[in-house]
Amino acid sequence: MSLDRADVAKIAHLARLAVDGDEADAVARDLSRILDLVAQMSVVNTGGVPPMAHPLDMPQRLRPDVVTEPDRRDDLQATAPATEAGLYLVPRVIE
Amino acid sequence: MEWETVIGLEIHAQLATRSKIFSGAPTAFGAAPNTQACEIDLALPGVLPVLNAEAVRMAVTFGAAIGAAVARRSVFARKNYFYPDLPKGYQISQYEQPIVGRGQVEIALDGGGTKTVGVTRAHLEEDAGKSLHEDFHGMTGIDLNRAGTPLLEIVSEPDMRSPAEAVAYARKIHQLVRYLGICDGNMQEGSFRCDANVSVRRRGSDRLGTRTELKNINSFRFLERAIQYEVERQVDLIENGGAVVQETRLYDPARDETRSMRSKEEANDYRYFPDPDLLPVVLDEDDIAAIVATMPELPDAKRERFERAYQLSAYDAGLLTATRETADYFEAVAQGCGDAKLAANWVMGDLAAALNRDGREIADSPVDAMGLTGLLQRLRDGTLSGKLAKDVFAAMWAGEGSADAIIEARGLRQVSDVGAIEAIVDQVIAANPDQAGQLRAGKDKVMGFLVGQVMKASQGKANPAQVNEILRRKLLDS
């Protein structure tokens, strides 16, 4: 399977990555080769094999429903570029 | 052309845990911005989510309540999209292996009868933060207190055929999650949110039309109106030669219409994949059985039991089991006073009216179950007449104390002493010779007038049944 520049542009946009011009061709080639490898693996019959969600064969550990985190807003906001009235400020987003 | 409406609902129920789904930060509503957002909620590097056991328990109880298969193994996945109130760049959700599989609920239809609505699935996920678009010098403010709050997303089959059915289904789920104690159901605060997928098709067609998704609906009334508006819009569009575009639309209650959200250039492409930070959630039979054993009696079962045990009509039993609080209240009063019918009448009558008038919930009623029980006991033993009981109830509502204390303080004890009532009856007969004569002559209609006069003279304290009897004896049997 091969990807073209338009595919790369779409994927890059979804990932918010800037991939332009010549780079896009190279990325398209690399990604296509990865897909070729996947295609090769698809040949193997995996009919009776359940999909693996995690390489560790262990169940998730659960934590009790207890509040353990105190308010540390001042510390945590110390590294934020802009805050006001307790809010993190970001470039305007409009729905 | 006859059109058929097809509706499916996606309900997000905020689970009533103390801490977040993947962190130990608190979930209380209304805290100052970002005071309940820890490193995990902020997606700082190096943090690891750890799943809240209580969120899992709550999801399992919901699954059991709708007769669904609870997954022995479920998997968390990353739903990838960029928005500033989602600091990780993905939402942790469940995709291919949700914790709750297919189930169903039964709804009551307006014209009588019931209908089964399928629940496709219910899965655990985290909520995002909130964006405040007021002007912060041209910037947007982000509050991440809500980020990481546990949600149970309940997805229905497209089984509803009218706005009323959609509301009945939403109310049913609302009732269930509140009975289970897994969600406070507060729609204004966003603890219970409904998105509606709506499409229309020509009646008789078995193909679904193109649907739109309605968001921003924060009451059952708005749910009904939003769907109504959207159905009309879609039918108009098609009948005028247009086509429905699959899109998300926001309901605007002020204008009672739905509006297209700025359409995204990209179709939703969330690129789900299993979250490597979280292992599969594994539950065995014993885990599930232990959780199911903690479940309270559910509304349908309670309604049937009330009908049977207290000989209530289906309608009354439905009203009295609408919420767990009402059912518990009624049951305490019915058992305390020993007369279920009387208890039902008071809970659905005077109590409901007073709650409604003051905009209160039964849980914070000024007259609690014990208080009402005390009042009804005095009604049953003849201390109070029905009229006086209403007065005492009003006084209890105003905070004047228990029924007994008010009866004592106001001297309201019903007069049941035959001699005392006879004396008053004699006075009334003497003062109203014409009416007394009419009654003697067989004009039964004046009976009410004479009883009224006696009640008035006794300041409402005479036992009306005795007054009746004595009047008849004196004027008719002589």
Q: Say whether both B426 and B280 belong to one domain.
A: no
* A90 close to B (CB below 8 A): yes
Q: Say whether both B110 and B225 belong to one domain.
A: yes
CA distance B286 to chain A (A): 16
Q: Say whether both B424 and B383 belong to one domain.
A: no
Residue B440 lies in a domain: yes
CA–CA gap between residue A50 and residue A48 (Å, rounded)? 6
Q: What is the pLDDT along chain B (478 residues), one digit of tens a residue?
A: 699 999 999 999 999 999 999 999 999 999 999 999 999 999 999 999 999 999 999 999 999 999 999 999 999 999 999 889 999 999 999 999 999 999 999 998 988 889 999 999 999 999 999 998 877 888 999 999 999 999 999 999 999 999 999 999 999 999 999 999 999 999 999 999 999 999 999 998 989 999 999 998 999 999 999 999 999 999 999 999 999 999 899 999 899 999 988 555 455 689 999 999 999 999 999 999 999 998 999 999 999 999 999 999 999 999 999 999 999 999 999 999 999 999 999 999 999 999 999 999 999 999 999 999 999 999 998 788 888 899 999 999 999 999 999 988 887 777 777 788 888 888 898 898 888 888 888 888 888 898 888 888 888 778 888 888 888 888 877 5
Q: Say whether both B41 and B137 belong to one domain.
A: yes
Residue B316 lies in a domain: yes
Q: Say whether both B151 and B275 belong to one domain.
A: yes
Residue B438 lies in a domain: yes
Residue B210 lies in a domain: yes
**How big is chain B by its Cα radius of gyration, in Å?**
30
Of B35, B137, B266, the CB nearest to A71: B35
Torsion angle of the four alpha carbons B18, B20, B26, B27, in this order, in degrees rounded to the nearest 10: -80
Domain encompassing residue B225: 3-287
In chain B, what residues touch A95 (CB-CB under 8 Å)? 133, 261-262
Q: What is the three-class DSSP state of B35?
A: coil
pTM attached to this predicted model: 0.85
Q: Say whether both B428 and B470 belong to one domain.
A: yes
Residues 5-64 of A with CB under 8 A from B: 10, 13-14, 16, 51, 53-54, 56, 58-64
CA–CA gap between residue B307 and residue A44 (Å, rounded)? 61
Q: Say whether both B134 and B269 belong to one domain.
A: yes
With CB atoms and an 8 Å threshold, state whether B18 touches A53: no
Residue B196, phi then psi, degrees to nearest 5: -115, 130
Exposure of B81 in the CB half-sphere (CA atoms within 13 A): 12
Of A61, A67, A76, the CB nearest to B18: A67
CA–CA gap between residue B237 and residue B231 (Å, rounded)? 10
Residue B294 lies in a domain: no
Mutation target among A10, A65, A95 for the B interface, most CBs of B within 10 A: A65
Q: Say whether both B458 and B360 belong to one domain.
A: no
How many domains does chain B contain in total? Answer: 3
Residue A29 lies in a domain: yes
Residue B265, phi then psi, degrees to nearest 5: -65, -35
Q: Say whether both B406 and B434 belong to one domain.
A: no
Q: Say whether both B90 and B227 belong to one domain.
A: yes
Give the pLDDT confidence of B209-262 residue by residue, as tens digits: 999 999 989 999 999 999 999 999 999 999 999 999 998 999 998 999 999 885
Residue B293 lies in a domain: no
Residue A27 lies in a domain: yes
Residue A92 lies in a domain: no
Of A61, A67, A88, the CB nearest to B50: A61
Residue B238 lies in a domain: yes
State the DSSP code for B11: E
Q: What is the three-class DSSP state of B265?
A: coil
Domain encompassing residue A21: 5-43
Residue A14, phi then psi, degrees to nearest 5: -60, -35
With CB atoms and an 8 Å threshold, state whether A60 touches B274: no
Q: Say whether both B378 and B431 belong to one domain.
A: no
How many domains does chain A contain in total? Answer: 1
Q: Say whether both B37 and B89 belong to one domain.
A: yes
